[in-house]
Amino acid sequence: MLTTILFDLDGTLIDSPKIIMQGFEAAISKHVDNYQLTHNEKTEILGMTLTMAFNRFQKDENHLQEMINTFRNKTEELTLKMLHSYENAENVIKYLKRQGYKVGIVTSKSRKVVEMNLELVGLNNLFDIIITSDDTTLHKPNPEPLIYATKKLGVEVFETIYIGDHENDIIAGNNALMKTGLMKYSYRFNEALEHQPTYIFDDLNHLKKIFW
């Protein structure tokens, strides 16, 4: 019996992929000479921590931090202008809670940024648990953050589903022995689909037809 629904944040509950990709482009353009990012490189980083995303471009630790700082400055600027939740996000989360499910977030973002994002789009104070990159040593696609979330909630992995938009989400969920869900509006839909998610959701409202 399913008792717990965990969500990724970016590209799943909040429409942030364009903000992230533009921040990534700005950082690479400023700090990496004569490098043109491919579309795959831009979308691939959507499921990564910042260190993972920029690591292969770094010359040293200072260079890495410079890229991350430029990324953060650009995305903070764009977030205030552009960030919103996907349609029905608040409604669906509240519905799932009324149905008795435990609902949480497991993301590769830092807690500071997550809390700012959730408050900005009006999704704060809705979740039973929020696991960020600050909470675990290993990150998706490693299953550690998902397993940590279930332990903190006191539930089993087999009664949990993880819903995301990136192949790292599906891989992490599969490795944690959870059910998995893939959002159809994903920028990485085909790549994630290769890892055989349990469910494919057209949009967030689609969850109401499955979990009732």
Residues whose CB falls within 8 Å of the CB of residue 52, separated by 6 or more in sequence, listed in order? 45, 108, 139
The pair of structure tokens assigned to 74 is 């650009």
Q: Are 10 and 46 in contact (CB under 8 A)?
A: yes
Q: Are 76 and 83 in contact (CB under 8 A)?
A: no
Q: Are 28 and 42 in contact (CB under 8 A)?
A: no
- For residue 203, what is the DSSP state? S
* Active-site amino acid positions: 8
Residue 143 identity: P
User: Cβ of 89: how many Cβ atoms within 10 Å?
Assistant: 22
Q: Are 77 and 106 in contact (CB under 8 A)?
A: no
For residues 200 and 164, what is the distance between their CA atoms, to the nearest angstrom? Answer: 10
DSSP 142-192: SSHHHHHHHHHHT--GGGEEEEESSHHHHHHHHHTT-EEEEETT-TTHHHH
